Amino acid sequence: MADTVLEASGIRVSFGGVRAVDDVGVTVAEGQVVGIIGPNGSGKTTLLNALSGVVPATGSLVVDGHRVRLGGPERSRRAGLVRMFQQPQPYRYLTCLENVLVATPDRRASGLGAAWLARPYMLRVERARWASAFAALERVGLADKARLPAAVLTYGEQRLLDVARGISACPRVLMLDEPSAGLNDHETTELLVLLRAVAADGVALLVIDHKIDFIDALCDRITVLETGRIVAEGSPAQVWRDRRVMDAYLGTAHDA
């Protein structure tokens, strides 16, 4: 059994009098892919916002055995939670390589003091950062575009650049919100293979997506939300046999 990386329980998020996420728990192990699905408005994105500290939330969040206080993006990031949003968000006028460098967490030997007093060490650290960023671009198939501005990338390539930035951030848990949205079948298949390889390296993945085939092929386990609460969870095969899922997500379960 792989070690548990993320364990969240009793997560609640309210906006005024509306409970957007209500007593939701999710557990992800090292190298495991967990899907979060449900109809629009079911609380999927809000759950990721809570775990990444973007919105105020209550409940318990434990990463690698250490409790992480909710409500602070910097605390979630330090714990190794890396978030990718629904739309690619590159710095359009930076090169692809520079976009990845921005996400690297290594800030050793930075600042004026290091430049004056530890220049050889600073240069070694910087060379390692650049090599790591280029390796991330190689992994997603964008090495040949490393020196080009992100503005010239296609939408699908921008998605891959986002993944490269996520990888370079050395995540313990990579959280992806609709990563296949806007991709054609070929691009979706390439993304599936890439994310499976990332998980094989031991990174835990928490994925929201509306493409059922993509979720089925990618995920080891699925959690289904409806109106902010969990209505089903289990393997893909178990989930799609659940009548509540058919009613809540597909609206196709009827009496014979």
pLDDT in tens, 76-90: 999 999 999 888 889
- At residue 147, the 3 state secondary structure works out as coil
Architecture of domain 1-80+171-256: 3-Layer(aba) Sandwich (3.40)
Element (H, E) at 116: helix 112-117
Q: What is the pLDDT of residue 256?
A: 35
| Residue 130 Cα distances to 80, 110, 112, 144, angstroms | 21, 14, 20, 15
* 198 in Cβ contact with 174 (< 8 Å): yes
Please say if the pLDDT value at position 197 is more than 90: yes
pLDDT in tens, 46-86: 999 999 999 999 999 999 999 999 999 999 999 999 999 88
* Cα(197)–Cα(233) distance, integer angstroms: 24
Place of tokens 């999710």: 26
* Cα(139)–Cα(17) distance, integer angstroms: 45
User: Residue ranges per domain, the chain?
Assistant: 1-80+171-256, 92-168
List strand residue ranges (DSSP E) for 16-140, in order.
18-29, 33-37, 58-63, 66-67, 81-84
* Cα(194)–Cα(218) distance, integer angstroms: 10
Which range is least confidently modeled, 207-216, 232-241, 246-255? 246-255
